[in-house]
Structures are given as C-alpha cells and as structure tokens.
Chains A and B, each alone.
Chain A
Amino acid sequence: DAGVIQSPRHEVTEMGQEVTLRCKPISGHDYLFWYRQTMMRGLELLIYFNNNVPIDDSGMPEDRFSAKMPNASFSTLKIQPSEPRDSAVYFCASSLGSRADTQYFGPGTRLTVL
C-alpha cells in the first residue's frame, strides 16, 4: 500500500484565497483524521471521520474551515478565506478499527498564507 497520500505537499497562497487540501487514506481504513501543526500550538486534531461521517469537529478553529469525506478513499480540508495565521503543516492520518488504534500519517501539506 502507498500509505496515506496528501496533496499538495506545499501550498503558498495569498490572504483571502480559498485553499483546498486533499487526502487519500489507506485502503480499508475506516477512520480519517485531520491535524494541524504549528510551532506555537504543536499538533492539534481538527476533525475526524468514521466511515465517511464527521464525528468530532470541535477542533476546527472557525467557520472558515470545512472538511468533507465524500467517499472512503478521499477527503478534503478547505479554508475559505485563508488568513496568514492559518499557515501551518496540515496532516491527514487514517486508522483501522477505532480512534485508539495506530494512526498512519500522511507526509503533510505545508501551507503558507501571505
């Protein structure tokens, strides 16, 4: 298996633009997680899905952030409009069976909002 795939790997955009981050989980995994990592706050869970259904989005910072999982093999995290404080590395991870099981992380998307 190719592991968790994220795209793009790097994104540079201007404040106010829409940003869409993409994730393909490991085939067969039924949990998908979106994380954000910054120097100030470390790793934070934004949202997670179970069987394509959002279970907990309490970590989503504000209404500018939205996430979808239209099918078992694809998820998006969208920021609209983007702000400089959204600059971070965004990781997607997937796991099989439960929230407590081993999570497999994608390589991350480094987002820079100018």
Chain B
Amino acid sequence: KNEVEQSPQNLTAQEGEFITINCSYSVGISALHWLQQHPGGGIVSLFMLSSGKKKHGRLIATINIQEKHSSLHITASHPRDSAVYICAVLFGNEKLTFGTGTRLTIIP
C-alpha cells in the first residue's frame, strides 16, 4: 500500500530555532513535493524533489531515496513561517498521495 507519514503532527518553536519536518513513504516514488498551507488556507508549492537536496532562502529540502525519507528544514525560523507543511508523494504512475501535514507554530 502506498503510504505517506509525516512527523511531527504539531510543532511549536521559538523564533530563530532550526526546524525539521519529516516525511516517510512506503515504496519507491517518482517525485516528492513539499507544500505550505497558510492559516488563510492558500497552498503554495515549496519544492519538488526526486533526488538530493534543494534550497530556497531559509528553506532546505532533502530526500534519501534508499531510506524512503525526506526532510524539510527551516533555518532562523520566523513567526511568518507558521503554517501547515504537507508532504505529497507521486508513487510511480499513480496519483499524488498526501501526508496529513505538520502544523508549525513559531512564537515570537
């Protein structure tokens, strides 16, 4: 069965802390997406990965194909990073499967 698990479900941290959100999946994939959903509901695609590492500003996404695991890191976290972060995985030729999301709250 194609499964996607995210951890933690909820994360609260102080401004400036280094944040890590994890995503594990059950079988081989074609691609993995990290999405950000703001408190207002809008969804933004942060990264699409099939291997290695990508960086955009304070955000870094990594994927380990052998371990079937991806991480999203936020450096120097800020209250505006507060959002739900969702991992979505494309298994082979099947449809995107979404994780349940990690709700991140950054306290000033």
Contact = CB atoms under 8 A, between A and B. Distances in A.
Real binding pair = yes
Contacts of B95: 45, 48, 56, 58-59
B75 to A, nearest CB: 22
Interface in A38-67: 42-45, 48, 56, 58-59
Given A43-B86, A45-B96, A59-B95, A104 B48 contact: no
Contact of A42 (B30, B31, B42, B100): B100
Nearest to A59: B95
Contacts, number: 43
A42 B88 CA distance: 11
Interface residues of B, number: 20
B108 interface: no
Contact of B33 (A42, A58, A59, A103): A103
Contacts of A91: 43
Given A43-B86, A43-B88, A58-B95, A100 B41 contact: no
Given A43-B86, A45-B95, A56-B95, A102 B45 contact: yes
Given A42-B100, A45-B95, A99-B90, A104 B45 contact: yes
Interface string B45-61: 10010100000000000
A108 B41 contact: yes
Nearest to B50: A100
Interface of B: 30-31, 33, 35, 41-45, 48, 50, 86, 88, 90, 95-96, 98-101
Given A102-B33, A102-B48, A103-B45, 10 more contacts: A43-B86, A44-B98, A48-B95, A59-B95, A93-B43, A99-B96, A100-B31, A101-B48, A104-B45, A105-B45
24 contacts: A42-B86, A42-B98, A42-B99, A43-B88, A43-B98, A44-B98, A45-B95, A45-B96, A58-B95, A89-B41, A91-B43, A93-B43, A99-B96, A100-B31, A100-B48, A100-B90, A101-B48, A102-B33, A102-B45, A103-B45, A107-B42, A108-B42, A108-B43, A110-B41
